[in-house]
Structure 1
Amino acid sequence: MTLENYINRENVEVLLSQLVKIHSPYFKEEKVMDFAYNWLKSKGLPAEYHRYTEDKVTKFQGINVIGEVNGKEDGPTILLNGHLDTVGICEGWTKEPLNPTIEGDKMYGVGALDMKSGSAAIMLAVNAFKNTVKHFKGNILYTFVSDEEGPYGLGTDALILDGITDHADVAIVPEPSSGFSGVSFPCLCLGARGGWNYTVHVMGKSAHAANPQLGISAIVESAKLMLELKNTELREDDKLGKGSICIISSDGGGAACSVADTASFTVFRHVVRGEDKEYIKQEVLDAAKRAGVKGDIVVTFRDAPHPDNGGFEPYTVEEDNHYTKLIKESILKATGKDANIAYFSSIGDFNYLGSRVGIPTFVFGPDGENYHTSDEYVNLNTVVDTAKVIYDFLLRTLAI
């Protein structure tokens, strides 16, 4: 049997259709995990459930599916990580989100792009490797995780906390790198921006609404600060570009006839290297000073299950890294094209792997459009190519 018997358009269509049909928004992944477990077992691949509990914030009892194929000699451990959860089904779909529709090279369905296609590519690549390569060194660790789309990435977080990733040397996360970065396929992301969620609390002074000059409106001061914060001159990273400041909610006041003495607003702050929590706090205080904000200001970061998953640290992989060279060679071999190098603009489980585990972590996956919105689709031929790239990387790295 050759590689083409295992990684081809028909096998991609069948497996990806089965995955898309299973409704699996984050925190509700049991059925899709059962499918992944049974699929791996049916192919003779090692598989086990990895269960975890987050007791502090979400009270979530989660489940991942993991497996490892081991070579006969010592060698590197390659981690292949994909999430099987999706965002919820939004309004505006003109296709049936849970009944995958194929039109030409496009498959429509919720999660078809982000990232059930990448997970399918892992499954097909590992199965192909098992059946075509009899002698190899090192290990292939594959992890299909829950709650990537949720607030804390609890699935991959649990892998790290439980030591499952401790022996990994390099990781591939087949998120839709082309779709997210706006760079044509094949797009190899050598890192990603990070991100923090924080709230600014503004304290003013109450007064009767008939005499507002006697008080300090926290709402007004909060508005001044929001406007000035958006004027912040952002640090520029030579790889990751600039971060971003997105105000995602605001609140304040509420008394029937009084000047508001409290107000708040929440920001999602994408960051680049050198921008940490202390940097962000100072950024807010500097904006308040420029705007002449009256009243006291307190910056708080969102509550988190533990200190290491309160936010997502940025990371990069060097272009001259040994594994970077290998994956670029695999991309050229499998697609016939040189990799287009980019950096992921948002956050994901890859941040945890690249920063907390501290291993070279490549984001490389299929192309498509409309992730996190209606009529999401993936280009099926790029799913085939992604699986072939993963297979070739395993071959180059582990084959004896």
Structure 2
Amino acid sequence: MVNRKESLDLLKKLISIKSNYFHEKEIMEYCYDWFKNNDMNISYHYYTDNKVTDFSGINIIGEMKGSEEGPVLLINGHLDTVEECTGWSKNPYIPLEEDGKLYGLGALDMKSGCAAAMIALREFKKNIMNFKGKIIYSFVSDEEGPYGLGTNFILNDGLINESDIAIVTEPSSGFLRMKEPVICLGARGGYGYSIKIYGKSSHAATPEYGINAVDEAGKLIVELSKAIPVYDEKLGHSSHCVIEIEGGGAACSVPDNAEVKIFRHIVRGENKNTIKKEIDEAAIRCGLKGRYEVIFREAPLENADGFMPYVVDEKLLEIEILKDSIKKITSKEAEIKYFSSIGDFNSIASKLNIPVIIYGASGDNFHGSDEAVDIKSFYETVEVLYDFLVKYLAIPK
């Protein structure tokens, strides 16, 4: 049986270390020392984005190699959090137990998943002398930032490319606001982009002599909202969200420029070309005046400007083993679901072309105030991960 108090103490320690994205050095050093103190293989991985963010970051990565040939399993998690939002009724950096929950920034997303993986990996190393294959474990920075730099640079540097399958311990139940155990077998993808609209300036008293770029932007936004979403039988519908509108001109003048920023969630079969076609068709339908251009955000690395959707085959052996472990530990059947948004799981699945399973704890308010993880669900996540590792990789005596 995994030591529950020790597991919760580790999670509390991780929550107490402030690690908003782009500020992960302290938590990386703590976790590096934790692995070293537990006699486990671990290394720092340093990276620098010179192209877009000018950010220099740190990941930690290690591995356990078995005595026989077998699958290479990747376990991945991010140690950063979003920025603190308003509305907290508790101190977000002082973990608080209350009514069966542990409150704190990152408690659910996803320091609970990282702590669960760390404890499960340590117990596996301590108790299992002979196993097949290899386990690679990576704990990364900047997943919550704009580009998922940590995992993308690990991929770019080829450090996890031998992986056959991956488990990302994001809060699958928490993502879907479910109390029951959930395995997510895929996720929608997405792209951030801007539409720049160029009009023609004139005096505000005679707007008919100009082309109001802000008005045209509004027409285009309305028409885009009428576009029929693409439906995927696993991932659901695609969607778009207007993030920001900017525009203007001189005082008492018709604005000659506007910019609309949009995040577009996509499903299988969609890509940058289908997004551009959707915009072109909307521009024609609304009779858009003036010139426009679609600009996808600049990427720090090749093929890192967006996130591709993916789906995992439900019939995989690993899914059956994980479901068995969940039933054994929780006495409940795991539900198979699909996540509606993006994360490092998209990058790993699309760039390595491997199955990526999302499994973690239940809880409330990820990316919101008073974020909390269900403590019982956290304990179960630790024990399920350990049981899965034993069932999947241990060589019977």
Post-superposition offset of 1:168: 0.6
Instruction: Confirm or deny: 8 A CA contact 1:184 1:340 kept in the other structure.
Output: no
Are 1:268 and 2:258 matched, yes or no?
no
> Number of paired residues?
395
Structure 2, unaligned runs of 5 or more: none
Q: Supply the distance in 2 between the matched residues of 1:281 and 1:330 (Cα, whole angstroms).
A: 44
Q: Supply the distance in 2 between the matched residues of 1:164 and 1:338 (Cα, whole angstroms).
A: 35
Equivalent residue for 2:73, pick from 69, 78, 94: 78
Post-superposition offset of 1:52: 0.9
Post-superposition offset of 1:214: 1.1
Are 1:60 and 2:55 matched, yes or no?
yes
Equivalent residue for 2:206, pick from 206, 211, 214: 211
Post-superposition offset of 1:226: 0.6
Q: Which runs of 4+ in 1 moved over 4 A?
A: none
- Name the aligned partner's letter for residue 32 of structure 2: Y
Post-superposition offset of 1:120: 0.2
Aligned residue for 1:89?
84
SS at match of 2:307: coil
Equivalent residue for 2:163, pick from 160, 164, 168: 168
Instruction: Confirm or deny: 8 A CA contact 1:51 1:64 kept in the other structure.
Output: yes
Equivalent residue for 1:178, pick from 170, 173, 181: 173
Q: Could you tell me the TM-score, scaled by structure 2's length?
A: 0.98
Bigger Cα displacement from structure 2, 47-56 vs 111-120: 47-56
Instruction: Confirm or deny: 8 A CA contact 2:177 2:364 kept in the other structure.
Output: no
Q: Supply the distance in 2 between the matched residues of 1:256 and 1:279 (Cα, whole angstroms).
A: 38
Post-superposition offset of 1:306: 2.2
Aligned residue for 1:115?
110
Aligned residue for 2:353?
358
Are 1:48 and 2:37 matched, yes or no?
no
SS at match of 1:159: helix
- Name the aligned partner's letter for residue 5 of structure 2: E
Q: Supply the distance in 2 between the matched residues of 1:36 and 1:242 (Cα, whole angstroms).
A: 39
The CA deviation string for residues 269-310 of structure 1, in whole angstroms up to 9 with x for no partner, is 011001100000111111111212111121110111123110
- Name the aligned partner's letter for residue 314 of structure 1: P
Q: Supply the distance in 1 between the matched residues of 2:16 and 2:178 (Cα, whole angstroms).
A: 29
The CA deviation string for residues 177-236 of structure 1, in whole angstroms up to 9 with x for no partner, is 112123332010000000100001111122111211111111101101011111110110
Q: How does 1:228-247 map to 2 (within 5 A)?
A: 228-247=223-242
- Name the aligned partner's letter for residue 305 of structure 1: P
Equivalent residue for 2:332, pick from 315, 330, 337: 337
Instruction: Confirm or deny: 8 A CA contact 1:53 1:60 kept in the other structure.
Output: yes
Bigger Cα displacement from structure 2, 34-43 vs 328-337: 328-337
Aligned residue for 2:247?
252
Aligned residue for 1:152?
147
- Name the aligned partner's letter for residue 321 of structure 2: L
- Name the aligned partner's letter for residue 174 of structure 2: G
Q: Could you tell me the TM-score, scaled by structure 1's length?
A: 0.97
Post-superposition offset of 1:17: 0.6
Q: Supply the distance in 1 between the matched residues of 2:274 and 2:341 (Cα, whole angstroms).
A: 19
Equivalent residue for 1:26, pick from 21, 24, 49: 21
Equivalent residue for 1:324, pick from 316, 319, 322: 319
SS at match of 1:94: coil
Equivalent residue for 1:384, pick from 379, 382, 385: 379
Q: Supply the distance in 2 between the matched residues of 1:126 and 1:133 (Cα, whole angstroms).
A: 10
Post-superposition offset of 1:12: 2.2
Q: Supply the distance in 2 between the matched residues of 1:288 and 1:224 (Cα, whole angstroms).
A: 9
Aligned residue for 2:301?
306
Q: Supply the distance in 1 between the matched residues of 2:165 and 2:331 (Cα, whole angstroms).
A: 24
Are 1:193 and 2:188 matched, yes or no?
yes
- Name the aligned partner's letter for residue 154 of structure 1: L
Q: Supply the distance in 2 between the matched residues of 1:212 and 1:54 (Cα, whole angstroms).
A: 45
Identity across aligned pairs (percent)? Answer: 51
Bigger Cα displacement from structure 2, 173-182 vs 33-42: 173-182
The CA deviation string for residues 62-119 of structure 1, in whole angstroms up to 9 with x for no partner, is 1011110111111111111010000111111111111100013200000000000000
SS at match of 1:307: coil
Instruction: Confirm or deny: 8 A CA contact 1:331 1:389 kept in the other structure.
Output: yes
- Name the aligned partner's letter for residue 69 of structure 2: D
- Name the aligned partner's letter for residue 60 of structure 2: V
Q: Supply the distance in 2 between the matched residues of 1:262 and 1:375 (Cα, whole angstroms).
A: 40
Instruction: Confirm or deny: 8 A CA contact 2:95 2:102 kept in the other structure.
Output: yes
